[in-house]
Structure 1
């Protein structure tokens, strides 16, 4: 009985404004929660991480990333804040502890959002082929940079506001400063946001042959500010992203086939049978090539110095070299067949007739 009574007296001993029993309960809560968080982080989060690696659901991966981004200091701060509820602290200590916990929570939220955003952008960048992934990385670096600035700005304002500072004037100053910076860097910001538009809208990709205005080239790099093309002559063309999004772009890689319009003129001395033969020879030369699709061939018109034919066919490839090779092969066949048939192609000529009166038969030169 005496031992029990002495223990009760010890527990009721007041340490500051708290008894030893209250301090012991607070310490027990602190250690218990800290140990519970340790077990959660060591076993539960690790199991979720293994599950996320083998899961086809991205939600599991995002949850795991959010859990892993939580630091041990955050767990300790939460445990300390809960344990402090079991003891009586001075107003200054209570205020300081609340400020510390609030700062830790804000910093942890920023860290978690950054980790989730990075995971989300990484998931998007892995979609599509290797060229799309390479282009996406450059664009997503800009998105992460802008998001990081926004998160830290908001976090700083929250921290200062909870510490008792008047942030109204600061917000106003940041607003005015933001407008000034935006006006000074509007061209750069325009190019950066245009790069986002290029990635999400995908008017072209790396390796595409495009024409912008009078410039034609293959896309080699899509950056935050500029896109680089290699022209047909071999030099590098650097075009701002804002100019690309505001211009009309011809993307030749999007074509499934290339259209060819072939014009051939025969001399006026060609007979009617010769014209019919020429029509058949042109058609046969085109249809003999398995890489093209014949559309039509017609005796089109009586030209100034030739009898003109027009033929239309499609090269079944979007490759420019295939396009030129097929035209060359067909042109060779047409020339060869015309030579065998005795058909002569026309070239610009002019015949002048002289006569003294309408009744005389003119002579030609």
Structure 2
């Protein structure tokens, strides 16, 4: 039985026969190339081995840098971690690409080496860029992610950076293979815009969390204040920040809304200032008024962590001679500030009582006049004159 052209059985085996023929031709070309370029191939293999050993040594050096506890969180450790992630397949293909021109391989082998090098370089480049970006983010956030309470945000950054880097690497590989990636890129762009519009509120809070991560306006444990709220930051999440207010309740506010407000970070005060308004009665003598700043300075000097900034008379009130006292408490801890303020207030109260200096309180004195216009105080005893009803 003779197979004829057009027979389905023959047509089905044609691709296999063609592949077998191509492999046989490649094998023959390889043997011929080795037979006539043996010395060049040996030199190229030696140089390639040296290159591989050198690159592997650099990889081990990077591994040592990223394991050094003293360099952790610094750029040498970040670069070392990226170098340590160098793939052995990339090292081999880089060495093969560098020496392939000297060995003058057949076109089929050279094309295969170029293609494999392109794949390895694209993937390795994505790995390097990913490690450098994530290392920079972790350096900015701090080596201990728990201290910023934004470990989940850093995890999201890792995922996004990984997806973007490897997506670009795949597109580069497909483009080098001759695939038209224009439509794919356009589809990814349209899909990204649609997702962004659908979840713009979530992304707004997410990017606000990343702003807190990079800009560090406050950390967990800091005392902050905005509007009429003051409290301690307990947790900074991807969408919300939780603050324990001074009155005890937990205040939950979205990250975007919080950053749009004027936030006061009370934990970064090198000192806290006490502002006291004191009023003494008008009967206080001028000599005593001159001594009040000295008295207050003596009181403040005896209080721990307290330092008098200014004390003086500020004006004449409706029922008091007004003084202003400014005291700096040299600590950023609110407990120390409150204790020092208490001691200063009690000290002023005790000393003024000892000096017979009276505090003023809202009073009103009424002066009356006699029928002849003479000012009298108080009223003398007068007979009550009955009021006659009006005549109709």
- The CA deviation at 1:250 is 1.1
Q: Which has the larger radius of gyration?
A: 2
Give the structure 1 partner of residue 335 of structure 2: 321
Residues 1:86 and 2:86 are matched in the alignment = no
Unaligned runs of 5+ in 1: 1-12
CA distance in 1, matches of 2:26, 2:315: 112
Q: Deviations over 1:316-358 (max 9, x none)?
A: 2222222221221122222222222223222223333444546
TM-score, normalised to structure 1's length? 0.76
1:287 shift after superposition:
3.5
Q: Which residue of 2 aligns with 1:245?
A: 259
Q: Distance in 1 between matches of 2:263 and 2:305?
A: 27
Which string of whole-angstrom CA distances, capped at 9 and with x for unpartnered residues, describes residues 71-103 of structure 1? 2333455577749962354xxx98777655533
Q: Which SS does the other structure have where 2:86 is aligned?
A: coil
1:1-365 maps to which residues of 2 (within 5 A)?
17-18=28-29, 20-22=31-33, 36=50, 39-40=53-54, 43=57, 45-47=59-61, 49-50=63-64, 61=77, 64-77=80-93, 82=100, 86-87=105-106, 89=108, 99-126=115-142, 134=148, 137=151, 139-289=153-303, 291-355=305-369, 357=371, 359-364=373-378
Stretches of structure 2 that go unaligned for 5 or more consecutive residues are 1-23, 380-392
CA contact (8 A) 1:292 1:313 kept: yes
| Alpha-carbon contact 2:304-2:340 (below 8 Å) kept | no
Report the TM-score when normalising by structure 2: 0.72
Q: Distance in 1 between matches of 2:131 and 2:263?
A: 36
Does the 8 Å CA contact 2:278/2:323 hold for their aligned counterparts? yes
3-state SS in 1 of match to 2:307: strand
CA distance in 2, matches of 1:165, 1:292: 74
Against the structure 1 CA distance between its residues 313 and 249, is the aligned structure 2 distance closer, same or farther, given a 3 Å change threshold?
A: same
Task: Quote how far apart the aligned CAs of 1:167 are.
Answer: 1.9
State the superposition RMSD in angstroms: 3.9
Alignment deviations for residues 247-276 of structure 1 (CA, whole Å, 9 cap, x no partner): 211122222222222222223444445544
The answer to whether the Cα contact below 8 Å between 1:62 and 1:116 also exists between their aligned partners in 2 is yes
Hey, what's the Cα distance between the residues in 2 that align with 1:198 and 1:49? 31
Displacement of 1:109 after TM fit? 1.9
**Residue 21 (structure 1) shift:** 3.7
| Contact preservation (8 Å) 1:132, 1:205 | no
Cα distance in structure 2, aligned partners of 1:266 and 1:147: 67
* Residues 242/162 of structure 1: CA separation in 2 closer, same or farther (3 Å cut): same
CA distance in 2, matches of 1:258, 1:19: 82
CA drift of 1:163 comes to 3.1
Count of matched residue pairs:
348
